[in-house]
Structure 1
């Protein structure tokens, strides 16, 4: 691999302008594809074949017009007064108009619903009065029968009148039974109204009304143009004296690809590059090439959105990764090239050597990230696998840019990648080509006591930061997590204030009815199920939504006491699903926002161990090939586990507990994004192995050149610490720029990756790993002989390149004088 990359670097340097033209053509092609083929991004996540999905499908089969997605429109008066009759009529007109939009199943007039409920209550009251009057009439009739019976008995004519009196008594008894049944039905109806009283469409003070819009398609399949058309009905013709907002089940917040915070992150990266590389030319190349790679990857990803269901966060993840690793990978090659130039290596030779050594490490580092990201497809979760695929595309392009475009650009700038002072020193001094990782006479290994102390402190620090991860709760962001100025946030807070927090996440409960025909039996069971649901402590209201025409399924709308992301609502979903069937009926099914989030979270949790085993296993094989050691890959992986849980602990403290929320823009703490742990596992593992490669390969290189193991630890650490420090700060800055995104999903992912990278680089790779390598001594490089014989020597450090025959050096220098552009100097 090192020799192949050496030749590739030399070829790109000799044909610099052609290489640059190819990459510019690819960028132009990606932009053209984006313009021609890009489509809509999705703002929701779904997983097929979950319990929630099964309930929705069953309801859709049994009830015409049910089972599709829904949206909420919130009207509120500007001055807080009750909605006037004119305003109510105007809202009703817009409801009728919205119901005619293509893709809309129905739109419910809140005032008509309120009127229907009031009429139903009035009917119950009238029915109760009628029953009381009928009972009085029956009592009068009973008295007449009793009196007639007494008179007949007194007259000795009871036998003659008994048949007639018995018939009249039977009529009275039958009427009394009918009245009791009717009275029971009225009581049942009143009980149902009482249980549903908290589910309102108009607030108690009359100032706020909710319009429910149901769609023909499932929630995740509703085209955005349909939602936009519905919102336009209410927005384009506003009702005087009112404000209108939309819930996050209808309004979409499209996260911005580029924000001020991200630009600041790139500026910080540029400052670090200037400090490390010493020249504006050197600092500009990694940023330039990273932007080219990110542009190609992001535009290509966006162009696929026309044929793939792509979440809005997916291309941003590719942008985040491509920008961070693109700068880092270019930095490693540029830094190696600069060191070689300062040792007097010819520009052409140096470009080949840098590509064959640092570029070799970049390729294998990229492979670990690539495996981790592509492994997300093993979870069987479509949207997560697509995120991994798009992320891997960004990584692949970043690696290819680093090993082709960087040598081409470096050949054009020649020695100007060095500062003026460095170039003067180079021409005025006799340069000697020495090894890259040689120890000076004053280099000493650290003491064993110091190694023990450093290891203990590192583990203790990471353990303390990881403690909040023990309280990890997973979920999906709701309206409370949207930016405070957004319509979704205003809708959420208004509904919480006027209708109760649970109104933002009602549950749909489906109950299978017993195989007993008859409307009355179905209604009896409906009431029985409703009362069983209502008994739960965390239920605020239960409203029957209907019984299927074949009387096999009853559905209910259940409003929890707390919001969709709360622990109590999560417990409620599990409680309903675990409820024993009533009277021989089937089990209860639950759907809704909270239910869907729980199903996604549980499926992700179930898939994580398998994913982690496969990804870590494959990466361990790569590390075994790179380091030719059993202990180093194991230690590297254990260190990653510590940094991962520490990153997770930080996320829980900030985004779930709300610590320092004012600093990170967390207005309402909530459960952690349910796919964040899985996503961060893949990305952070790959990036952690990057730093392990650049720190560990220096140690192995020194040891391979004959240094004792413990001395090689110090030598390799000193050789790589500056560039790894710079790379970690750059990557942390780029990821950190996304922390201040208005979208909580982007913010939490950016924070987890920024914290994880910084902890892994500075605490694990630069503190814990050197200490453990020192303690292991020569055992760190132990490899069974049988395994040593069968493993290929991939020479990631490129040591074989430094022992090429002198004739090969002379031939390549002759080629350089013939083929290299004169500008390269």
Structure 2
């Protein structure tokens, strides 16, 4: 692999104009395809194989046309203190709103706000549901303005009026000011790392090219807008990091005496091999999200995986081409005049001074390997403490209750909970399939009686039958909120009643609705978590065995990955469930952790953790293979790669942290989880636990049975064969040895 990428790097450098034009053409083609693509369908949410989905499918079959998806708006009216919403003046103001909205050209139906079930028992609160003929994305500006203007008139009359529903949902956020700040931080870190404007700018340019092509390809493929968020996060972060590693290696090869074209080839052949492997692990982990069986999760994983593939291709081809345009400008200012510009000459005169100041990475490595056991135990204990909250992890799918209190959706949710009880926001839909029963109405009556007698149910609606009279819908209102654990128990209890109904009448009873679907998603994702984790950890061990030709190093890497994941989950629970730092981070409401977060985080963190493991440990193993002692190899590896790994981690943290500032609770949670995971994995696991563990293991860290060595494919990830070949074909003057590289252990 290294030899192939070496030739690709030289070719891209030499034919830089063609490669640059190729990527301009690719970006233009993807942009044109995105602009020309038909508008994506409204984001759907289905969970095949669950009872909730079976019930929805049955409703589509037995109530054709009645369940057509269209936008809806639930307007909530609350009377002033001491008054009732049914009072004459208040009633007139409410009816005026409904009459105004009902006349809209896109309105399909309007419910009465003064129907018995629409007015609270104390008559202080009422609501009306507006159903539209089109989905939210197709609502015209005039329709939306008409709704909001009518609401403002009612507010002027003294009523408190809030509105929820998909009709006012702004859709997924794709960016924000904090994300821009994250990119600015990344640019600053790159400049500090490279001390050259061009070297700092190239990773940003290539990352944006790959990200632009990836996002446009997602849109052109007709995927929903919700799939773009994860692609934005990962595409930007890994795109910058992969370019950072290759540019850093290019500069190192130039400092070692190689001409620009040769340095580009070697950089792509060595660091590029690690980029390919790291990118492959991210892609595999993201594609593996499909094991959960949730289509939306699968789409997000595949979309992000495609963006990562583009980031890898850009780093391997466009980046060396751009280096060809700026072979000197990417170097530090003090090295530009002394470095050759001859692209065909293999040597140069730049030599690192013998008594140069020792790098911070080397000093840190020396500190760790002098006290490996204490450092290892302290680091593991620290991560263990941070992970303690994960023992209280509760999963769910938050709704409007997780919105900021500044939004009208959240205020509408709270008003309904105050007026009608917490369970009103999460009603259950009971579907009775009485097609094989003798008397469908008797079956529905039996089901209603059983539901009314069930603890935790405070309201049961009359049965509504389809035209054929063989299927009924019954609404049940829980006494607890949608995300309450008692509601989950209630759904389980109601589903247990289905067996009795089946025995007595032969009819089937299914529980669905948004609340039941959220519960089913949580259960399904939780069930998939263990096998997915086993696959990910097993894959990590196998892939790292191929890379490092070792057994203990992969096992150590997998255990470190598990520590990072546990600690990041602990941070998520502490903030979003316990409320620590909730105000500072803009968390509007504490509650269950998003049910898809664990499998999301495991997949993404696995790929990112392997990035740092590969880039850091390959340099350590490279030094060990060349004859250095285990301790000295650690110091050498850190001298070459610690600075770059730290910069890459800071960039990723900045990019991910940028999403914490968004209002969507899922995106906010994902941003915090990824930022925390990168911090724990890069700075505590890879930069501290890894050198401590390697120092304790010594030569045993690199042991591999001969029979296993013969079985494992040799992909030459580290470029050992390439280095031996090039040492003969393109020798460089030997640099004087530096005494500061010696180490006492």
Please indicate, yes or no, whether the TM-score normalized by the shorter chain is above 0.5: yes
**TM-score normalised by L of structure 1:** 0.79
CA–CA distance in structure 2, aligned partners of residues 425 and 715 of structure 1:
25
Residues 403 and 409, structure 2, Cα contact 8 Å, conserved in 1: yes
- Residue 543 of structure 1 and its aligned partner are, at CA, apart by 2.4
Say if 1:802 and 1:423 are closer, same or farther in 2 by CA, change over 3 A: same
Residues 95 and 109, structure 1, Cα contact 8 Å, conserved in 2: no
Residues 106 and 133, structure 2, Cα contact 8 Å, conserved in 1: no
Q: Which residue of 1 is the match for residue 480 of structure 2?
A: 562
Q: Which residue of 1 is the match for residue 96 of structure 2?
A: 90
Q: Which residue of 2 is the match for residue 670 of structure 1?
A: 591
**TM-score normalised by L of structure 2:** 0.87
Say if 1:742 and 1:514 are closer, same or farther in 2 by CA, change over 3 A: closer
- Residue 362 of structure 1 and its aligned partner are, at CA, apart by 0.8
2:668 is aligned with 1:755:
no
2:526 is aligned with 1:638:
no
SS at match of 2:717: coil
2:290 is aligned with 1:374:
no
For residues 585-596 of structure 1, the aligned pairs below 5 Å read 585=505, 586=507, 588-596=509-517
Say if 1:107 and 1:421 are closer, same or farther in 2 by CA, change over 3 A: same
Find the partner of 1:584 among 497, 504, 507.
504
Q: Which residue of 2 is the match for residue 300 of structure 1?
A: 217
CA–CA distance in structure 2, aligned partners of residues 53 and 227 of structure 1:
31
Q: Which residue of 2 is the match for residue 690 of structure 1?
A: 611
CA–CA distance in structure 2, aligned partners of residues 523 and 406 of structure 1:
67
CA–CA distance in structure 1, aligned partners of residues 444 and 171 of structure 2:
45
CA–CA distance in structure 1, aligned partners of residues 120 and 727 of structure 2:
88
SS at match of 1:74: strand
Say if 1:206 and 1:345 are closer, same or farther in 2 by CA, change over 3 A: same
| Structure 1: stretches of 5+ with no match in the other structure | 115-199, 812-825
Q: Which residue of 1 is the match for residue 666 of structure 2?
A: 745
Say if 1:681 and 1:704 are closer, same or farther in 2 by CA, change over 3 A: same
Q: Which residue of 1 is the match for residue 147 of structure 2?
A: 234
CA–CA distance in structure 2, aligned partners of residues 16 and 338 of structure 1:
18
How many pairs does the alignment contain?
Answer: 706
Per-residue Cα deviation, 1:674-701 (whole angstroms, up to 9, x for no partner): 1111111111101100100011101110
Residues 548 and 554, structure 1, Cα contact 8 Å, conserved in 2: yes
Say if 1:48 and 1:516 are closer, same or farther in 2 by CA, change over 3 A: closer
SS at match of 1:414: coil
Per-residue Cα deviation, 1:392-414 (whole angstroms, up to 9, x for no partner): 11111111111111111112112
Residues 432 and 444, structure 2, Cα contact 8 Å, conserved in 1: no
SS at match of 2:45: coil
CA–CA distance in structure 1, aligned partners of residues 182 and 704 of structure 2:
42
Residues 543 and 558, structure 1, Cα contact 8 Å, conserved in 2: yes
CA–CA distance in structure 2, aligned partners of residues 47 and 520 of structure 1:
30
Q: Which residue of 2 is the match for residue 274 of structure 1?
A: 191
For residues 269-418 of structure 1, the aligned pairs below 5 Å read 269-305=186-222, 308=223, 310=224, 312-418=225-331
For residues 75-86 of structure 1, the aligned pairs below 5 Å read 75-76=76-77, 82=85, 84=89, 85-86=91-92
CA–CA distance in structure 2, aligned partners of residues 539 and 765 of structure 1:
52
CA–CA distance in structure 1, aligned partners of residues 46 and 418 of structure 2:
29
2:53 is aligned with 1:53:
yes
Say if 1:344 and 1:38 are closer, same or farther in 2 by CA, change over 3 A: farther
- Residue 59 of structure 1 and its aligned partner are, at CA, apart by 4.2
CA–CA distance in structure 2, aligned partners of residues 406 and 448 of structure 1:
36
- Residue 461 of structure 1 and its aligned partner are, at CA, apart by 1.2
Per-residue Cα deviation, 1:242-268 (whole angstroms, up to 9, x for no partner): 465432444323233221101111111
Find the partner of 2:723 among 802, 809, 824.
802
2:12 is aligned with 1:12:
yes
- Residue 42 of structure 1 and its aligned partner are, at CA, apart by 4.1
- Residue 321 of structure 1 and its aligned partner are, at CA, apart by 0.4
2:28 is aligned with 1:108:
no
Per-residue Cα deviation, 1:186-206 (whole angstroms, up to 9, x for no partner): xxxxxxxxxxxxxx3124564
Say if 1:2 and 1:522 are closer, same or farther in 2 by CA, change over 3 A: closer
Q: Which residue of 1 is the match for residue 177 of structure 2?
A: 260
Residues 625 and 791, structure 1, Cα contact 8 Å, conserved in 2: yes
Larger Rg: 1
Residues 543 and 557, structure 1, Cα contact 8 Å, conserved in 2: yes
Q: Which residue of 1 is the match for residue 459 of structure 2?
A: 541
Residues 255 and 742, structure 1, Cα contact 8 Å, conserved in 2: no
Per-residue Cα deviation, 1:446-494 (whole angstroms, up to 9, x for no partner): 7878211111112111111111112212221211222433332232122
2:416 is aligned with 1:466:
no
CA–CA distance in structure 1, aligned partners of residues 3 and 234 of structure 2:
28
Q: Which residue of 2 is the match for residue 194 of structure 1?
A: none
Say if 1:743 and 1:521 are closer, same or farther in 2 by CA, change over 3 A: closer
Residues 357 and 796, structure 1, Cα contact 8 Å, conserved in 2: yes
CA–CA distance in structure 1, aligned partners of residues 140 and 595 of structure 2:
26
CA–CA distance in structure 1, aligned partners of residues 441 and 12 of structure 2:
82
Q: Which residue of 2 is the match for residue 727 of structure 1?
A: 648
CA–CA distance in structure 1, aligned partners of residues 504 and 469 of structure 2:
14
Q: Which residue of 2 is the match for residue 209 of structure 1?
A: 126
Say if 1:426 and 1:215 are closer, same or farther in 2 by CA, change over 3 A: closer
Residues 344 and 433, structure 1, Cα contact 8 Å, conserved in 2: no
Say if 1:290 and 1:756 are closer, same or farther in 2 by CA, change over 3 A: same
- Residue 808 of structure 1 and its aligned partner are, at CA, apart by 4.1
Moved more, 764-773 or 446-455: 446-455
Find the partner of 1:702 among 595, 604, 623.
623
Find the partner of 1:616 among 537, 556, 576.
537
Residues 651 and 752, structure 1, Cα contact 8 Å, conserved in 2: yes
Residues 248 and 479, structure 1, Cα contact 8 Å, conserved in 2: no
Per-residue Cα deviation, 1:730-770 (whole angstroms, up to 9, x for no partner): 11111111111111111111111110011001111111121
Per-residue Cα deviation, 1:22-50 (whole angstroms, up to 9, x for no partner): 11121222221121115246455321332
Residues 404 and 587, structure 2, Cα contact 8 Å, conserved in 1: no
Residues 313 and 746, structure 1, Cα contact 8 Å, conserved in 2: no
- Residue 240 of structure 1 and its aligned partner are, at CA, apart by 3.2
Residues 291 and 323, structure 1, Cα contact 8 Å, conserved in 2: yes
SS at match of 2:373: helix
Say if 1:614 and 1:434 are closer, same or farther in 2 by CA, change over 3 A: farther
Residues 203 and 240, structure 2, Cα contact 8 Å, conserved in 1: yes
Residues 513 and 553, structure 1, Cα contact 8 Å, conserved in 2: yes
- Residue 652 of structure 1 and its aligned partner are, at CA, apart by 1.2
| Structure 2: stretches of 5+ with no match in the other structure | 341-347, 733-745
CA–CA distance in structure 2, aligned partners of residues 706 and 286 of structure 1:
34
- Residue 424 of structure 1 and its aligned partner are, at CA, apart by 5.0
Find the partner of 2:431 among 501, 504, 510.
510
CA–CA distance in structure 2, aligned partners of residues 229 and 593 of structure 1:
29
